[in-house]
């Protein structure tokens, strides 16, 4: 069963402008060390950050809260499996909200997909509640 859906669109050029103006202050406030390391290895650093920004916004929407209700940017982090598939990790208030919205007897699975086509980056997050077998 689907318990949350969110989508967001980010402008890569806008993210580049924020990086140019605020640099590490922006990176350190919004992105985890793993996300920063991933972006630093990429040719299109701003595009990498824009996709992750969009994923965090989409995730906050899927959680039904937006970013105004206590979720910190770093409570949501995107990593990649060896196959390249993006994976959303939740900690802190985001993890607590996910646990709160997951029905008893179910486990929550957070699906995330990222794409970009300059100047846009887009993310979709779907939160699924699967019955626990046992």
Q: What are phi and psi of 66, to 5 degrees?
A: 70, 180
pLDDT-derived band at 97 (thresholds 50, 70, 90) equals very high
CB 51 within 8 A of CB 118: no
Position 65 scores a pLDDT of 84
pLDDT per residue over 6-57, tens digit each? Answer: 999 999 999 999 999 999 999 999 999 999 999 999 999 999 999 999 999 9
Position 71 scores a pLDDT of 78
DSSP symbols for 99-119: HHHSPTTEEEEEEEEEEEETT
Domains of the chain: 2-131 (3.90.470.20)
The percentage of the chain sitting over the pLDDT mark of 90, rounded to a whole number, equals 93
Position 66 scores a pLDDT of 72
């Amino acid at each position: 069963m689907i318990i949350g859906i969110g989508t967001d669109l980010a402008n890569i050029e806008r993210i580049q402008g924020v990086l140019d103006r605020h640099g590490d202050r922006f990176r350190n406030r919004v992105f985890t060390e793993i996300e920063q390391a991933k972006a630093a290895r990429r040719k299109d650093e701003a595009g990498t950050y824009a996709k992750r920004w969009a994923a965090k916004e989409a995730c906050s929407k899927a959680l039904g809260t937006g970013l105004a209700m206590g979720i910190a940017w770093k409570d949501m982090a995107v990593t990649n499996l060896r196959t390249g598939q993006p994976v959303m990790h939740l900690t802190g208030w985001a993890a607590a909200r996910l646990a709160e919205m997951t029905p008893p007897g179910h486990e929550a699975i957070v699906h995330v997909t990222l794409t970009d086509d300059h100047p846009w980056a887009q993310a979709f997050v779907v939160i699924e509640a699967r019955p626990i077998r046992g």
